[in-house]
Chain A
Amino acid sequence: MIQSILQYLHSDVTPGEAGSLFWVVVYVLLVFAGISVGVIFMNWFERKIMAHMQVRLGPMRVGPHGLLQPLADALKLIIKEDLMPANADKIVFWFAPVCVVMTAFCGFIVVPFGPTHAITDMNIGVLFMLGVSSLGVLGVIMAGWASNSHYPLMGSLRSGAQMVSYEIAMSMTVVSAVMMTSMATGTGTLSMIGIVQAQLHQHMWFAFSFFPVGITALGVFSIAMVAETNRAPFDLPEAESELVAGFLTEYSGFRWSLFFLAEYASMIAVSSIATTLWLGGWLRPFPNLLGGKTWDTAFSLVPGLTFIALAALCIFYFTRMPRIRAMRAEATGLAAFGGVLGLIGIVMLLPGVRVRIQDIYWFTLKAGFFMYLYIWYRTTFPRYRFDQLMKIGWKVLLPISIGVVVMTAVVGMRQELLALVWR
Chain B
Amino acid sequence: MSDHNQFYDAPLEEVEPGHTFLDSNELILNMGPQHPSTHGVLRVILKLDGEKVNDLECVVGYLHRGIEKVAEHRTWAQFGPFVDRLDYTAAVSNSLGYCLAVEKLLGVEVPKRAQYLRVILTELCRLASHQVWLGTHVLDIGAVTPLFYAFRDREDILNVFEKYCGARLTTHAFRIGGCRWDAYAGFAAEVLHICDDLGPKIDEYKDLITGNRIWLQRTKNVGYISAEDCIAYSITGPVLRGSGVEWDLRKKQPYSSYEDFDFDIPTGTAGDTFDRYVVRVEEMHQSIRIIRQATEGLMEGPITAKVPKVIKPPAGEVYVSIEAPKGELGFFLVSDGSAMPYRLRVRPPSFINLQALAKMARGSLVADVVAIIGTLDIVLGEVDR
Flag if B368 contacts A385 (CB, 8 Å). yes
Flag if B152 contacts A55 (CB, 8 Å). yes
The residue on B at minimum CB distance from A233 is B214
Task: Give the size range of A's interface with the partner.
Answer: 20 to 34
Interface residue A22 (Cβ < 8 Å from any Cβ of B) = no
Flag if B145 contacts A382 (CB, 8 Å). no
Interface residue A294 (Cβ < 8 Å from any Cβ of B) = no
Flag if B148 contacts A241 (CB, 8 Å). no
Shortest CB-to-CB span from A62 to chain B, Å, is 21
Interface residue B51 (Cβ < 8 Å from any Cβ of A) = yes
Interface residue A7 (Cβ < 8 Å from any Cβ of B) = no
Interface residue B82 (Cβ < 8 Å from any Cβ of A) = no
Flag if B212 contacts A56 (CB, 8 Å). no
Flag if B208 contacts A380 (CB, 8 Å). yes
| Docked pose: A309 CA to B260 CA in angstroms | 60
Flag if B214 contacts A384 (CB, 8 Å). yes
The residue on A at minimum CB distance from B149 is A55
* B residues 351-385 touching A (CB-CB < 8 Å): 365-368, 370
Interface residue A53 (Cβ < 8 Å from any Cβ of B) = yes
Flag if B365 contacts A381 (CB, 8 Å). no
The residue on A at minimum CB distance from B152 is A55
Flag if A379 contacts B36 (CB, 8 Å). no
Interface residue A196 (Cβ < 8 Å from any Cβ of B) = no
| Docked pose: A124 CA to B33 CA in angstroms | 52
Flag if B370 contacts A386 (CB, 8 Å). no
| Docked pose: A244 CA to B35 CA in angstroms | 8
Flag if A241 contacts B36 (CB, 8 Å). yes
Task: Collect the chain A residues with CB atoms within 8 Å of residue B218's CB.
Answer: 382, 384-385, 388
| Docked pose: A382 CA to B370 CA in angstroms | 13
Flag if A232 contacts B145 (CB, 8 Å). no
Flag if B141 contacts A236 (CB, 8 Å). no
Flag if B214 contacts A382 (CB, 8 Å). yes
Task: Collect the chain A residues with CB atoms within 8 Å of residue B21's CB.
Answer: 150
Shortest CB-to-CB span from A266 to chain B, Å, is 21
From A241, A384, A387, A388, B37 is in contact (CB under 8 Å) with A241
From B139, B147, B214, A381 is in contact (CB under 8 Å) with B214
| Docked pose: A200 CA to B37 CA in angstroms | 51
Task: Collect the chain A residues with CB atoms within 8 Å of residue B147's CB.
Answer: 54
| Docked pose: A85 CA to B292 CA in angstroms | 59
Interface residue B6 (Cβ < 8 Å from any Cβ of A) = no
Flag if A378 contacts B144 (CB, 8 Å). yes
The residue on A at minimum CB distance from B144 is A379
| Docked pose: A50 CA to B147 CA in angstroms | 13
Task: Collect the chain B residues with CB atoms within 8 Å of residue A232's CB.
Answer: 142
Shortest CB-to-CB span from A258 to chain B, Å, is 24
* B residues 18-53 touching A (CB-CB < 8 Å): 21, 27, 29, 35-37, 51
Interface residue A239 (Cβ < 8 Å from any Cβ of B) = yes
Shortest CB-to-CB span from B87 to chain A, Å, is 22
Interface residue B140 (Cβ < 8 Å from any Cβ of A) = yes
Interface residue A65 (Cβ < 8 Å from any Cβ of B) = no
Shortest CB-to-CB span from B93 to chain A, Å, is 27
Interface residue B138 (Cβ < 8 Å from any Cβ of A) = yes
9 other A-B residue contacts (CB within 8 Å) besides A242-B370, A382-B143, A385-B218: A55-B148, A381-B214, A382-B142, A382-B209, A382-B212, A382-B215, A385-B217, A387-B365, A388-B218
A interface residues with partner B (beta carbon < 8 Å): 50, 53-56, 150, 232-233, 235-236, 239-242, 244, 378-388
- A and B contact pairs by CB, cutoff 8 A, 16 listed: A54-B144, A54-B147, A54-B149, A56-B148, A150-B21, A233-B214, A235-B142, A236-B367, A242-B37, A379-B145, A381-B142, A382-B209, A382-B215, A385-B365, A385-B367, A387-B365
**Among all A-B residue pairs, the 8 with the closest Cβ atoms:** A383-B142, A241-B37, A382-B142, A54-B148, A382-B143, A382-B141, A385-B367, A241-B36
